[in-house]
Amino acid sequence: MKILTGDIGGTNTRLAVFDTETGQLQPSSLTVFRSNNCSSLDEVVAHYLSRHGGVCKYACLGVAGPIKDRRCKTTNLPWQVSAADIEHGLRLTKVWLLNDLEAMAWGIPALADDALHTLQEGSPDAQGNQCIIAAGTGLGEAGAIKWDSEHYRPFATEGGHSDFAPRNALEFALFEHLAQRFGHVSWERLVSGPGLVEIYQFLLKHHQHTEPLYLDFDDPAATIAEAALEDSCPISVEALDLFISFYGAETGNLALKHQATGGVFIGGGIAPKILSKLQDGRFLQAFHDKGRMEPLLQRMPVKVILDNKVALYGPGRYAMAQL
């Protein structure tokens, strides 16, 4: 049996086929589409199946946004996604929609040991709930309940849209700057690719810097991150340091809310690219900085996911579980 799986994000839509008869989750015909170049997910899936789908009768798609009644209005794309419409339009037997971070959580058990980089070992006998956070075009968060001695049950959240909490005078100034622009200031406004750009632009204004870095129009966040990693632009260095501190702080918030003693996972496209900075202590310092709860956080394993196919493994595992 062949299952179409998808990872639908604000920047890229990735589709692949899994053959369940092999017993292993290995994607074939992996294809990446620029999401903004397409008018709908139905269009992307139809185009892909016409080329690679073969005898796919089932599909499971991880979509960046809240799912209700098998429908999703994507958060960072102007798409209305309906599992029923895709089933009917493409004559598929069954289509499942998952929140993208829920899908990623389903994929964690399929990861090889070398697909995870450990930031914090945590307790050697760590067990209990897990959580996952992923910064990319937006900020996704999900949890996984320890169901029994061997299995986890992932669940979706929209925690990335909860209120940002400034911790000092500089961060209050940043908050006010963003509030004037957006009204509500969520963690996603800061812990995401666009968030890094917002931090950088605020710091330019705050420091009255007159020579801004030339930003790549297609990916300004990558330009800032590269300049910071190369230590070639002081404002970029400060922006990335703030970004990492925010990332650590919100990861700690998520870990506490889920009491994730079984493990905290950091996914998304940004973390592997800035891994050296995540290891310099700033991330874990902000992660731990929760007053009396610091000892609890120190016992949690914290790992960065290096395999970007985890968001495709997850839908494959979910569909196999349903079938």
- Per-residue pLDDT 10s for the chain (323 aa) are 889 999 998 889 999 998 877 666 778 889 999 998 889 999 999 999 988 866 789 999 999 999 999 999 998 889 999 999 999 999 999 999 999 999 999 999 999 999 999 999 999 988 999 999 999 999 999 999 988 877 899 999 999 999 999 999 999 999 999 999 999 999 999 999 999 999 999 999 999 987 778 887 889 999 999 999 999 999 999 999 999 999 999 999 999 999 999 999 999 999 999 999 999 999 999 999 999 999 999 999 999 999 999 999 999 999 999 98
H/E segment holding residue 68: strand 67-68
Taken as a whole, the chain contains a residue count of 323
Q: Let me know: does 127 contact 300? Beta carbons within 8 Å.
A: no
Q: Let me know: does 187 contact 157? Beta carbons within 8 Å.
A: no
For residue 309, the one-letter residue type is: K
From CA 288, how far away is CA 265, in angstroms rounded?
A: 15
Enumerate domains of the chain plus CATH numbers: 2-107+309-322 (3.30.420.40), 114-305 (3.40.367.20)
Residue where the block lists tokens 């690719």: 193
The pLDDT value recorded for residue 24 is: 66
The torsion defined by the Cα of 311, 96, 37 and 75, in degrees rounded to 10, comes to -80
H/E segment holding residue 170: helix 169-182
| Residue 91 zone, left/alpha/beta (φ > 0; ψ -120 to 50; rest) | left
The pLDDT value recorded for residue 190 is: 98
pTM, two decimals, is 0.95
The pLDDT value recorded for residue 53 is: 63
From CA 185, how far away is CA 167, in angstroms rounded?
A: 14
Per the DSSP assignment, residues forming a β-bridge with 298 are: none
Residue where the block lists tokens 């406004």: 189
The pLDDT value recorded for residue 210 is: 77
Among candidate residues 300, 278, 275, 276, the one with its CA nearest the CA of residue 290 = 300
